[in-house]
Structure formats: C-alpha cells, structure tokens
C-alpha cells in the first residue's frame, strides 16, 4: 500500500459539518416525524431489588389513544437478553440483561413495561396508571455487600462475582521478595458517566409486506447493533437497516445495544406502526450506562534508585446489575494498562467484576484507563516522596525507552489478551510538557499558602491504546468528477466528515471541494462496518480509505488507458484528470459510468499507542475546599496529525470531561439502591467558566509503524491522566497539613473534610 503525499493532511481545515449545525439544519432522531407515528415511554422500576408480583395495565389501556402496554409476558416464552459485545467470557453470560424484567428487578430504572400511545404525553399519563406490585428485597450496593453472600442478584449463579481478570507479566511475587522499597495503598474512583448533549432516541418502522425493519437513531456501532437486533427478532440480517442520523455526542455510552433497542422495533412490528422513543434526562441518569466505579489495593516495589521493579494488587469494579455489551472492557483495560508508559517488568493485578443493584456500567471515554492512571500516578508520587526522589525524575527514570519498543504490556487472563506499545519516545512529551508548563517557575509556589489559598502542581504520564480491528470504505466516482465517500465508522460529533475528506483528497490528489459527500455509519451504505469506539476511526477507516483510493486510481488508469489505447502504466492520475502520452487528458467525470463504486477494507490486529504528559497548577481554598485549576498543560504525540483543529478540540474536550470526573461528578446511591444525584441540580457538570486555562500541544514525532497513515488514536488521551494529576496537585498543595487524597472526586465538600480531618 502506497504512503500518501501530505497536502491536506495536517492542515487546520475547519469542520465541514459545522455550517449545517450552526444554521440549525442538523437532523437528529428527535426531529423525525411520520404520519402514522406512535410514541413509546418506558415504565421503569422504582425499586432497586425486588420480586415482581404483578403488572396490571387495565387502567392504562382504558385511556383513549393508548395502543398497547407490553410487559415480559407479551414477548414470548423466552424474553430476549442483550449479548455481550466485547469480552464475552462464558461465566458472564448468566448475568446478561433481559430486555424487560421477568421475575425480578435489579436496579432503579430497569424497564418493566412499554407503553405505546398516540402521543408521548398520553403515553406518560398512561404509564402512571399501570399498577406494578414489587416485593422489595435488600439492596446490594457495594463491594462488601456483594461479596458477603447475604443476598444474590441471580440466585441461580450463587455469586455476585461473575469473573476475575488477571494481568500478568513476569513474576511480581518474586520481585517483591527482598525489594529495597515497597508500599501499599488503597485508592478509589467514584461512579460517574458521560452526559452527551443529546440523549438516546429511536424511531422504528416495520414494513410488513417486505418483512423489513428500519431503525433510525443508530450510533457508534450500527452494524453490531443490526446483528444483535436481527438475531433477537429472528430476522435475516439484511432485513434490518440501521440509519445513523446526526448524533449529539457519544463518549462510549451512546450507540451500544440497550433494552430499548429491541423494545421499540418489537413494538413497531407488533403494532404495524412507526414507533418513536426519546430518552429524557432523568432516564439518562437511570438507564444509560454508568462507568468508572472501582477500588484498588495496589502495591509498588522499587530498587534503591527508584526504578519500579514490580506492581501487584487487587481491584474491584462495580458493574451494576447486569453485564451489558461492553461491561468487561473497563475491568480489562484497568488490568492491562495499570503500568501505563512505564518500564515495569513484573506485574500481577487481579480485577474482580461485581454485580450490584445499581445501573449497569459500560464504557465511557478512556474506560479503565482513567481509573488505572489515577491509581498508578497517585502511588508513584507517594513512592517518590518516600524515596526522596523528585517526582519528575522518578517518572523519567521509569518511562519505557524508545530502544525498548515494541514494549509488551501485561497479558490479561483468562481472555489471553496480549498487546504491545508500537513505538515512541515518551521522554520527549514529558520534557515538552514541563517546558511549556514552566515547571521550574511554578515549583517555587508549590505547597505555599498565598492569597488565602494553598498552591500545588503535579505531572502525570499516560498512554492511549486504539485502532485494532477491521473497517470498510467505499468510493464512488461521480459524473461531475467529484467523489462520494462512505465509511463504516460512525460520527458522534468528532468531525469524521472533515478528516475523512482530507484523507481521501490526499490519497486521490484532489482538492477538498471535489468531495461530494461523506456518508458514515448507516448499514445501507456498505456490506459491513466496525463503527466508532476505542479511538479507532482515523487509524482503521482512514487506512481503508487509502486502500479504496489506490483501487479507484487503478480503475481510472485502466479505463483511461482503454480509451486512449495505451498501457495503464502510462497513465498519471492527478487533480481530477487522467494524463496520458502526448499530453492526452481524460477527465474523471467522463469515466464515471465505466467505473463501479470501489470497496476496500483495512484490518490491523495490532493496536496503536499514543502517549503524553499532563501538568497542572491548582489553588485550594481551605475554607471551602474548592479547587481552582489555574493552569493545565497537555502534550501528546498522536503519530500523525490529520487535522490539528479537530484534534485540539478532541483533547480539550476530553480534559474538561476528565476534570469534571476528578473534581465534580458523582453518581451517589443510598443504602436502598436509590440514585441520589439523578438530575443536574445534584450532579455537577463543568461549565464554560470552570476550566478556562487549558493548553494543548500535539506532536507527530513518532508515527505508528502499524498503518499507512502512521496515525495513532487520539480521542481519549485527554481524559486519561486527569484524575491522577489533579489528585497529586491537591496533595502537593496540602502537603504541609499531610492531606492524602486517595479517592475521587475531589469536590469542595470532600476536600474540606480531608483538610478538617488532617488538622484534627
């Protein structure tokens, strides 16, 4: 495969999508209307754990305009369960979620019935008239309760502990014996999740004559969702079409297969009408995947020079009531990337997966990696302090060196997942970050009490894995000489239309205005597609576009050569023209009728690993516990930059989300399994004025050797180190009073309590 010539790649092209959105011309699933449309609402359990005694819809069905109330009894002899998409261990299958609760409810918000009516307001009114009797059972909400055996979510499994994953490299136990220095810490990350601007929504239309189902509102992984829906509805896969509309943010939680993704199409087929469902914000808090909740007892062993010789420990991840499509991903990543970009030869981390009576968890930007970096970077600062080694020097001594590449990470068992860092010079991003941040100058105020606040600084390093798997692309030559682009990757707001156009134009040596359209995600575009997750789109779909462009250029040469009566090797393709011997010119458009659309795929079994360093300066108000971010500096190397503007937006947005998770956001449950922070009145999100001082530098010094673009995934790197660097900065600020922040979030009340406890 040919390397492409850089022209548009690397240029700061403004997003081609933006004029449509800024003028209010986007089409989201909530905008869709149909003449025969019915509306659905989901009746959800108000009880965290209990046995269903009865469901009586008599009063609801008596309302004029109510078309149906569907419970588990209406779905057939066996209620479908949602399969696990990633990491489907056999031991997890008994913990999959039924699309409607059958005999038990296991979390507040679990779907119990679906009400379909002529309007959403009428369906809401009818829902209030459905009589549901549930016999409450004791709720299980934390690790100790889950492991105690005093109650079970699934009696038939006899355990709330579905699986244990182990990350193993070398011999950690042997390395700890006789180590010069060891330390053990308990650390914890709170439950929080993504809050996209647009909540989930679906419109399902059944064509009885053709026996086909069309679902609007697909996102992230439409082809995977089509396979699941077709199987659950006993339909041929090609009878189901998933249409991707504009999507107002995804961040890992949008686009996975949820109960509603079966229930709304099922209702449409059952009633022979188009059915629409839009998730409200309260439902989003209760029903869409949560994330992050994990605790870890982690040990470090070092030699006398501060080199880390081993990491070992035990972590527990609270995945909520069921193992959903991506439930195993965060525990797996936590285990595998706990060592991060550091040269650690001996690792043994056991990560237990637990089920509790909370909303099920899944992936959220940097799943498992955010948690792992907080655990490791916090422990590294503590170890450096104990050893009397500067914390920057401690990290520099332990970073993987370029000559050690490719560097293998720990193997995750029993999945037997192996991976290795594909290359890079990690010290470059560390040193550049320190220089841009002006670490020496800021060190002069570290730990000082100035103007009524304690000041602190910190540094953290990370890596971001991405880009393995397969993706598909199609290029079609149009009669006006333009090219239409279709890709299997989805758009979640990350600007794929722009960057895919840039890649295609460079590969075909065309100006940007010769791209007619960039279509993405929908299952009617291509035979298959992987979707957008794990920062894979540029690496895989971009490489598939290069492969398609090579094939299209070959087809153009063949067609032009036949017309000019020469060899294809004599044809040069550039600027929308095929140039032949003697100055002969054939315009692309004139060949369009002779060249069928070109399909291509790209497969890469190896992951790419971007990497970087973040530094932060905070000020802590001891009177309120408020943490103010005064300066935040991020430096990352992403292999090759396609568009610096969209990349900068991705990194900055990810940092803001990370700061929200580090300082504000917390999905809090009480002992009965009731969510206490189920609205924006209680769940605090960052606003535009919270973190104005964020700076980002992106490098492309070390392209990936594993794909023709040389690109590395860059959608999640900004969020990964934020928890660790913030916690270490707060610890540095409050070092004089020995505050040790080993749990997130560091919200004002929590920091105030830490200060009060430290002062006695």
pLDDT class for 467, splitting at 50, 70, 90?
confident
Of the candidates 379, 441, 469, 474, the residue with the CA atom closest to the CA atom of residue 86: 469
Tell me what the mean pLDDT of segment 462-470 comes to: 92
pLDDT class for 468, splitting at 50, 70, 90?
confident
CATH code at position 657: 3.30.365.10
pLDDT score, position 269: 98
Q: What is the pLDDT of residues 40-62, one digit of tens each?
A: 999 999 999 999 999 999 999 99
Q: What angle do CA 352, 420, 603 make, to 5 degrees?
A: 100
Question: pTM of the prediction?
Answer: 0.96
Report the interhelical angle of 542-564 vs 496-508 (nearest 10°): 40
d(CA 726, CA 723): 5
Say if CB 343 and CB 234 are below 8 A apart: no
**Taking the CA of residue 614 as centre, how many other CA atoms within 13 Å lie in the half-sphere pointing to its CB?**
34
Question: 538 with 586, same domain?
Answer: yes
Residue 614 inside a domain? The answer is yes
Question: 505 with 439, same domain?
Answer: no
Say if CB 263 and CB 200 are below 8 A apart: no
d(CA 174, CA 664): 40
Question: 110 with 206, same domain?
Answer: yes
Q: Which of 603, 635, 661 is the last residue of a domain?
A: 603
Question: 368 with 463, same domain?
Answer: yes
For 264-386, where are the E strands, in sequence order? 275-278, 294-302, 308-318, 347-354
Residue 38 pairs in a beta bridge with 275
Of 29-38, 232-241, 253-262, 684-693, give the lowest mean pLDDT range: 684-693
Residue 162 inside a domain? The answer is no
Question: 725 with 612, same domain?
Answer: yes
pLDDT class for 635, splitting at 50, 70, 90?
very high
Strands 469-477 and 483-487: antiparallel
Q: Does residue 345 carry a pLDDT above 80?
A: yes
> Which DSSP string corresponds to 645-690?
HHHHHHHHHHHHHHHHHHHT----B-TTS-BS--STTTS----TTT
pLDDT score, position 4: 46
Q: Does residue 18 carry a pLDDT above 50?
A: yes
Percent of the chain with pLDDT over 90: 97
d(CA 539, CA 545): 10
d(CA 681, CA 668): 13
Q: Which of 580, 603, 626 is the last residue of a domain?
A: 603
Of the candidates 140, 98, 94, the residue with the CA atom closest to the CA atom of residue 358: 140
Tell me what the mean pLDDT of segment 284-303 comes to: 98
pLDDT score, position 331: 98
Say if CB 245 and CB 216 are below 8 A apart: yes
Residue 691 inside a domain? The answer is yes
Q: Which of 562, 586, 603 is the last residue of a domain?
A: 603
pLDDT score, position 760: 79
Q: Does residue 6 carry a pLDDT above 80?
A: no
CATH code at position 265: 3.90.1170.50
Strand ranges of the sheet holding 104-105, from the earlier edge strand across to the other edge: 104-105, 50-56, 131-136
**Taking the CA of residue 19 as centre, how many other CA atoms within 13 Å lie in the half-sphere pointing to its CB?**
3
Per the structure, the complete domain to which residue 40 belongs is given by: 32-137+199-247+254-287
Residue 191 inside a domain? The answer is no
Of the candidates 489, 515, 488, the residue with the CA atom closest to the CA atom of residue 501: 515
Q: What is the pLDDT of residues 390-419, one digit of tens each?
A: 999 999 999 999 999 999 999 999 999 999
Q: Does residue 3 carry a pLDDT above 50?
A: no
Question: 362 with 332, same domain?
Answer: yes
Q: What is the pLDDT of residues 569-614, one digit of tens each?
A: 999 999 999 999 999 999 999 999 999 999 999 999 999 999 999 9
Q: Does residue 149 carry a pLDDT above 90?
A: no
Q: What is the pLDDT of residues 732-749, one digit of tens each?
A: 999 999 999 999 999 999
pLDDT class for 688, splitting at 50, 70, 90?
confident
Residue 596 inside a domain? The answer is yes
Question: 312 with 420, same domain?
Answer: yes
Q: Does residue 190 carry a pLDDT above 70?
A: yes
pLDDT score, position 651: 97
pLDDT class for 653, splitting at 50, 70, 90?
very high
DSSP state of 606: S
Mean pLDDT of the chain: 96
pLDDT score, position 610: 97
Residue 300 inside a domain? The answer is yes
Tell me what the mean pLDDT of segment 253-273 comes to: 98
Residue 149 inside a domain? The answer is no
Q: Containing H/E element for 262? A: helix 259-271
Tell me what the mean pLDDT of segment 446-454 comes to: 97
Question: 320 with 372, same domain?
Answer: yes
Question: 394 with 478, same domain?
Answer: no
Question: 265 with 334, same domain?
Answer: no
pLDDT score, position 139: 98
* Coil, strand or helix at 619: strand
Report the interhelical angle of 222-232 vs 259-271 (nearest 10°): 50
Higher-pLDDT residue of 517, 297: 297
Strand ranges of the sheet holding 627-637, from the earlier edge strand across to the other edge: 449-450, 453-466, 608-620, 627-637, 694-699
For 621: left if phi > 0, alpha if psi spans -120 to 50, otherwise beta; the answer is: beta
Tell me what the mean pLDDT of segment 680-688 comes to: 94
Say if CB 676 and CB 191 are below 8 A apart: no
Q: What is the pLDDT of residues 521-563, one digit of tens each?
A: 999 999 999 999 999 999 999 999 999 999 999 999 999 999 9
pLDDT score, position 2: 45
pLDDT class for 639, splitting at 50, 70, 90?
very high
Question: 652 with 721, same domain?
Answer: yes
CA distances from 229 to 125, 239, 413, 728, 731 (A): 29, 10, 30, 45, 49
Domain count, the chain: 3
Question: 475 with 561, same domain?
Answer: yes
pLDDT score, position 328: 98
Residue 181 inside a domain? The answer is no
């Amino acid at each position: 495969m040919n390397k492409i010539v850089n022209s548009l790649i690397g240029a700061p092209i403004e997003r081609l999508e933006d004029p449509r959105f800024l003028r209010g011309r986007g089409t989201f699933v909530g905008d869709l209307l149909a003449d025969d449309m019915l509306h659905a609402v989901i009746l959800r359990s108000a009880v965290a754990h209990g046995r269903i005694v009865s469901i009586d819809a008599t009063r609801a069905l008596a309302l004029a305009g109510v078309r149906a109330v569907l419970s588990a009894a209406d779905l057939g002899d066996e209620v479908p369960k949602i399969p696990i998409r990633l990491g489907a261990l056999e031991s997890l299958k008994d913990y999959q979620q039924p699309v409607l609760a059958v005999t038990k409810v296991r979390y507040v918000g679990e779907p119990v019935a679906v009400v379909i009516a002529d309007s959403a307001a009428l369906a809401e009114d009818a829902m209030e008239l459905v009589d549901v009797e549930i016999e409450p059972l004791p709720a299980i909400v934390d690790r100790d309760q889950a492991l105690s055996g005093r109650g079970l979510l699934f009696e038939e499994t006899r355990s709330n502990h579905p699986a244990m994953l182990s990350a193993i490299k070398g011999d950690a136990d042997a390395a700890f014996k006789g180590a010069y220095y060891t330390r053990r810490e308990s650390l914890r990350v709170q439950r929080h999740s993504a809050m996209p601007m647009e909540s989930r929504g679906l419109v399902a239309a059944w064509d009885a004559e053709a026996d086909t189902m069309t679902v609007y509102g697909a996102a992230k992984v439409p082809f995977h969702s089509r396979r699941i829906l077709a199987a659950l509805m006993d339909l041929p896969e090609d009878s189901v079409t998933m249409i991707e509309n504009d999507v107002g943010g995804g961040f890992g939680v949008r686009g996975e297969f949820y109960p509603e993704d079966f229930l709304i199409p099922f209702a449409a087929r059952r009633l022979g009408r188009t059915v629409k469902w839009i998730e409200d914000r309260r439902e989003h808090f209760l029903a869409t995947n949560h994330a992050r909740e994990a605790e870890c007892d982690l040990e470090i062993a070092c030699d006398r020079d501060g080199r880390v010789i081993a990491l070992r420990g035990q972590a527990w991840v609270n995945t909520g009531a069921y193992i959903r499509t991506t439930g195993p991903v965060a525990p797996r990543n936590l285990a595998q990337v706990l060592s991060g970009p550091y040269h650690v030869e001996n690792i043994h981390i056991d990560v237990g997966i637990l089920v509790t009576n909370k909303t099920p968890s899944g992936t959220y930007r940097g799943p498992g990696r955010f948690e792992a970096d907080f655990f490791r970077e916090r422990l590294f600062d503590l170890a450096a302090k104990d050893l009397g080694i500067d914390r920057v020097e401690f990290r520099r001594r332990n970073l993987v060196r370029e000559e050690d590449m490719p560097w293998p990470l720990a193997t995750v068992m029993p999945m037997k997942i192996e991976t290795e860092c594909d290359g890079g010079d990690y010290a470059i991003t560390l040193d550049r970050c320190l220089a841009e941040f002006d670490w020496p100058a800021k060190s002069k105020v570290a730990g000082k009490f100035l103007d009524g606040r304690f000041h602190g600084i910190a540094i953290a390093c990370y890596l971001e894995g991405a880009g393995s798997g397969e993706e598909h692309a199609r290029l079609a030559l149009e009669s006006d000489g333009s090219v239409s682009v279709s890709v299997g990757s989805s758009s979640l707001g990350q600007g794929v239309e722009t960057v895919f156009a840039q890649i295609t134009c460079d590969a075909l040596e065309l100006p940007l205005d010769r791209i007619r359209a960039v279509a993405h995600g929908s299952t009617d575009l291509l035979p298959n597609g992987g979707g957008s997750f794990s920062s894979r789109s540029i690496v895989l779909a971009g490489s598939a576009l290069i492969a398609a462009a090579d094939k299209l250029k070959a087809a153009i040469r063949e067609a032009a050569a036949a017309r000019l009566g020469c060899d294809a090797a004599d044809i040069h393709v550039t600027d929308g023209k095929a140039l032949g011997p003697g100055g002969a010119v054939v315009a692309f458009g004139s060949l369009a009728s002779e060249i069928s659309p070109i399909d291509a795929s790209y497969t890469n079994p190896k992951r790419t690993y971007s990497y970087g360093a973040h530094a932060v300066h905070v000020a802590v108000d001891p009177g309120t516990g408020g943490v103010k971010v005064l300066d935040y500096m991020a430096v990352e190397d992403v292999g090759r930059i396609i568009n610096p503007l969209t990349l900068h937006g991705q990194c900055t947005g990810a940092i803001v989300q990370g700061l929200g998770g580090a300082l504000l956001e917390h999905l809090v449950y009480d002992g009965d399994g009731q969510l206490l922070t189920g609205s924006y009145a209680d769940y605090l999100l960052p606003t535009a004025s919270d973190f104005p001082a964020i700076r980002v530098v992106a490098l492309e010094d070390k392209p990936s050797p594993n794909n023709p673009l040389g690109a590395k995934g860059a959608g999640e790197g900004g969020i990964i180190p934020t928890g660790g660097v913030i916690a270490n900065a707060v610890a540095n600020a409050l070092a004089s009073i020995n505050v040790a922040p080993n749990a997130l979030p560091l919200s004002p009340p929590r920091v105030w309590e830490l200060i009060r406890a430290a002062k006695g």
